[in-house]
Amino acid sequence: MQDIIKRLVIAVIMGICIGVLFIGGRSTSAESTDLQSLTKDWAWPVSGNISDHFGTRHGRHKGIDIVAEYGEEVFSVDDGVVNKSYYSSTYGHVVFIKHPNGFETVYAHLSKRLVKEGDKVTQGQLIGNIGNSGISTGAHLHFEIHNGEWNYQKDHAIDPLTVLSEHNLYTMKELNEQKLASHQASVYSPQSQSSINNTADTVKAEVEAVSANYKNEENLKTVIVERNDTLWGIAVKENVSIESIMEWNSLNTTNIQIGQKLVVYAEDEKVYVVQAGDSLNQIAKTVGISVEKLKELNNLKNDLIFPQQVLVISRS
């Protein structure tokens, strides 16, 4: 009898353990699914190289570090309201944004904050610029995501790479391709073509107009954005300016996504790559143009330039 009771007790205990494991597994899976569904449309805050991951420094690093050029634009990953915007002795210039889905994101070590507490922001809105403020050893963005409100202990911090994954980038890539396809369809729609008179003069005029707008196809090059690429890096590699790449591809921001296709016209302009110690005055004298013309060609609002920056010195 005792032996039967022991067996029953063991069976009950095993059943309870299996049930706990099953429920726990379902809970973890559900939590992961909920997290992905709540953030599936989020975008990266800046383009750059990840230099440090979540959980390093003996578990004290509660975000990721994204290296980018000093002054690079930083964007809100989703709609929200600015909860805090101030200067911290550790974070430096920092912005906290609360999102409707309950998350709070942190953007730290900025050189400049462009939003203030209480501001409503939309996904992709410019909120600041990459910097090296606070406790920092180089220009980068320290980015945190909290599943709940931020606190000093950072109890609710989650790894941003569980949200800003390849899936998100692929979604953004598809969105860009859809916009491009929509634009092409509107340019070459039957309705717009029906207004063209089928005469030799008209056809010749259309060809000349397309040539003027889209340059020589022989000089056209397609660049596919790869992991860790930045618009700055592509500009240096292709020997063209960031402003030209943005113009050729109808970009409103310097944010780019993995898999995105960018067109580059290799011989459309002459450029100069800024070296350490260069100034606009020195460059202008070297290439034989005025400082005002140099600033106009590159949409510069001041005399601030950076090593490896690509400046247009003439445009065909």
**Whole-number pLDDT of residue 22:** 44
Distances (CA, A) of 251 to 174, 213, 242: 16, 16, 10
Give me the domain span that covers residue 154: 49-164
**Whole-number pLDDT of residue 98:** 96
The low-confidence residues of the chain, meaning pLDDT below 70, are: 1-36, 165-219, 266-269, 315-316
CB 120 within 8 A of CB 110: no
Give domain status of residue 170, yes or no: no
The model's pLDDT over 266-301, given as tens digits with 9 standing for 90+, comes to: 655 677 888 877 888 888 888 888 889 888 887 787
* CA 231 to chain CA centroid, nearest Å: 10
Say which CATH number the domain at 102 has: 2.70.70.10
**Whole-number pLDDT of residue 115:** 95
Concatenated DSSP letters for 252-308?
SSS---TT-EEEEETTSEEEEE--TT--HHHHHHHHT--HHHHHHHTT-SSS---TT
292 φ, ψ (degrees, to nearest 5): -60, -40
Q: How many domains does the chain have?
A: 1
**Whole-number pLDDT of residue 264:** 81
Strands 104-113 and 92-98, by their bridges, are antiparallel
CB 134 within 8 A of CB 114: no
Give domain status of residue 304, yes or no: no
Q: Report the distance separating Cα 263 and Cα 170, nearest Å.
A: 19
Give domain status of residue 124, yes or no: yes
Give domain status of residue 17, yes or no: no
Residue whose tokens read 């501001």: 119
